[in-house]
Structure 1
Amino acid sequence: MNTTDSITITSIDSVTLDAADPEAAAAFYRDAFGLDARVRTRAADAASEGFRGFTMSLVASQPANVTALFEAAVAAGATVLTPLTKSLWGFGGVVQAPDGAIWNLATSTKKDTAPASREFEHLVLLLGVEDVGASKKFYVDRGLKVAKSFGSYVDFATPSSPIGLGLYKRRALAKSAGIASEGSGSHRIRIDGAGDPFVDPDGFEWGAAEH
């Protein structure tokens, strides 16, 4: 797979995560978060150490939903990286799924307005990159539009996509997840959308979903 200027990105249909036991990983996402079609799993044993360079986020409408998602994840076997915490920006916590993927569960709302549920409003993939400006240009050149951009962070506008996409300086992303930024080997993720497969400047694989 090669990087090519002819690729046009329209949306992210799903992500596929590498797992030693893909059936168990799929069961975790189904049981903890109610995810099925948007998060897929595949059997893979590519070498990977430390931070894999990305995080997934579930953004909910209220703290009670974040708590419900967090508790369901832990009950299903996730490891707590950052406990649920109130902050100036809202409320949230970070867990690591049994397959190794890191999940940020959060809301910017500070008060509950409805009974707790595991519903969420947005599923977002954040890619940790070495050069935010270069990666931003790479994706803009391939058709994505920027919704927000400041310093070490870029949020792309993906209104028709079930999964949002953002870029974050790798070190800052690892810090936000509560882990060391060092890591090597496979990212252990494929980003699934339409078009021919390619690899971005930071080694993230894009391809078509396997049905």
Structure 2
Amino acid sequence: MVMATTNSTAAHASLASVTLEVADVEAAHRFYTAFGVDRHISLRASDVRSTGFRGFTLALTVAGPATVDGFVADAVDAGATVLKPAAKSLWGYGGVLQAPDGTIWKVATSAKKDSGPATREVDEVVLLLGVEDVKATRQFYVDQGLTVSKSFGGKYAEFAPGQSSAVKLALYKRRALAKDLGVPDDGTGPHHVILGSTTGTFTDPDGFTWQAAA
């Protein structure tokens, strides 16, 4: 289950792309285009089933609450299910939804009030992996050549983004991530996400698959 890398781990590595495995590529493409995030991900057909929590979320950071509401509304209109309605919290404003293909998305802002009109701009996209041991998995990725940009002990780790991807990679405790998203933490089957690597092909300790990006 641990790595089978094809390139030297001395090389600088980063996340180059994110590919979601879906049952119906055409339907998923329509949804993600309507949602407004199609340029941040790729899609691949897969008929392998999984149940429960897939162990990750994609999080959008936007400018203000009105923009959060706009993205959530567009997603719901296109067929998404709301897992957590957008609401204020200690850290800002945000909501959680599940795409028709099963992928969970979080849309949030640190702003509690709008400083301007709603836009369709995304400030940041983060692929957050739920892992059993943040410290061990962080070290695994360091050994693969990724660079840590933020780290909070065994709770959270974030890696420097690559030049070829607008998506940032971060690690969070699986149980804590599921709780934050409002779902049970149990699940079976594949994660249904493939991470594009700038170096080689490997699988991390929690079963997330990396493949050399084209």
TM-score, normalised with respect to structure 2: 0.91
1:23 equivalent to 2:2? Answer no
Distance in 2, Cα, partners of 1:79 & 1:171: 21
Deviates more, 1:159-168 or 1:196-205: 159-168
Cα contact 1:9–1:193 (8 A) shared by 2: no
Provide, for residues 142-197 of structure 1, a one-character-per-residue CA deviation record: whole Å limited to 9, x for no partner.
22222222241111222634110100000001001100000111001101132221
Letter in 2 for 1:25: A
1:12 equivalent to 2:15? Answer yes
Alignment coverage as a number of residue pairs: 209
Describe the shift of the 1:20–1:4 C-alpha distance in structure 2 as closer, same or farther (beyond 3 A): closer
Distance in 2, Cα, partners of 1:124 & 1:23: 24
Identity of aligned residues (%): 53
1:195-210 map, 5 Å: 195-209=199-213
**Runs of 5+ consecutive residues of structure 1 not aligned to the other structure:** none
1:166 equivalent to 2:176? Answer no
Letter in 2 for 1:18: E
1:133 equivalent to 2:135? Answer yes
Cα contact 1:23–1:41 (8 A) shared by 2: no
Cα contact 2:14–2:160 (8 A) shared by 1: no
Match of 2:92 in 1: 90
Distance in 2, Cα, partners of 1:103 & 1:69: 11
Match of 1:153 in 2: 156
Which of 174, 179, 202 is equivalent to 1:175?
A: 179
Describe the shift of the 1:21–1:9 C-alpha distance in structure 2 as closer, same or farther (beyond 3 A): farther
Letter in 2 for 1:23: E
Match of 2:3 in 1: 3
Deviates more, 1:135-144 or 1:49-58: 135-144
Distance in 1, Cα, partners of 2:30 & 2:17: 16
Distance in 1, Cα, partners of 2:129 & 2:63: 23
Distance in 1, Cα, partners of 2:169 & 2:124: 11
TM-score, normalised with respect to structure 1: 0.93
Distance in 1, Cα, partners of 2:120 & 2:197: 26
